[in-house]
Amino acid sequence: MESTADDESRAVQELIDRLIGQFPSVPPDSVQDIVNTCWQEFKGRPIRAFVPVLAERNARQHLRSKAPAD
């Protein structure tokens, strides 16, 4: 099954919401920017099924570097 633009938009927003909850010390606008940047790294790639997983992994790496250590 091929994903649509609506499916991807929904997946991006779900990822943003989830990561905002998991990284409360990072401003929500920063989380959104990081997720969108990570998602765009896969723009134009023909196989879209793994984009959510790969973008989330990359976003988490960026967010861990921005979040203050506990």
Query: What residues contact residue 39 under an 8 Å CB cut-off, 6+ apart?
Result: 8, 12, 15, 51, 55
Residue with tokens 């959104």: 32
Range of the domain at 43: 5-66
Decide: 60 and 19 in contact? Cβ < 8 Å.
yes
pLDDT of res. 66: 81
**More confidently predicted of 66 and 67:** 66
* Number of folded domains that form the chain: 1
Over residues 9-32, the pLDDT tens digits come to 999 999 999 999 999 999 999 999
**More confidently predicted of 2 and 60:** 60
